[in-house]
Amino acid sequence: MDTSVMPPMPVTNPLTEFFWEGARAHKLMILRCQSCGYFVHYPRPICERCLSEELAPEQVSGSATLYSYTITMKAWHPFWVDKVPYVLASVELPEQPDLKMLTNIVDCEHDAVEVGMALEVTFREVAAGLTLPLFKPVGS
């Protein structure tokens, strides 16, 4: 963990705190509608399918498929100066069609990154109090 420059920290609120607490506990948590079972990510207060306000965090499998990515070459913040290039990715979770999250792909040569590749979550403490759910190729 590099502590010389802090990353931009997420501003948590009652709607998102479960996500960051889950990451610190190495659990990938996604909001799920308690009325119809629909997963909602990013966290929102209302189910987009049935408009229920009865949402609760649920641990998901941690599996994913790479939907899209880009390799970031420029550090847009001092925290990333020694971390570029890195892979910024949109991954699709298997729990529901079109359930996606933004993340980074790690433990993978950039030439080997491929849309559709099978991924699994891994958790990295990138700063004191900030653990991120990142994804790596299955079995790497």
Applying CB under 5 A, the residues found at the interface with Zn ion are 33, 35-36, 38, 47, 49-50, 52
E-strand ranges in 24-110 read 29-33, 39-40, 55-59, 63-72, 86-92, 100-105
Nearest distance from residue 106's CB to Zn ion, in Å?
Answer: 33
* 8 Å CB contact between 60 and 28: yes
Closest CB to Zn ion among residues 96, 131: 96
Nearest distance from residue 136's CB to Zn ion, in Å?
Answer: 31
Closest CB to Zn ion among residues 52, 131: 52
* 8 Å CB contact between 39 and 32: yes
Nearest distance from residue 35's CB to Zn ion, in Å?
Answer: 5
Secondary structure element (H or E) that encloses residue 17, with its range: helix 17-24
Closest CB to Zn ion among residues 37, 85: 37
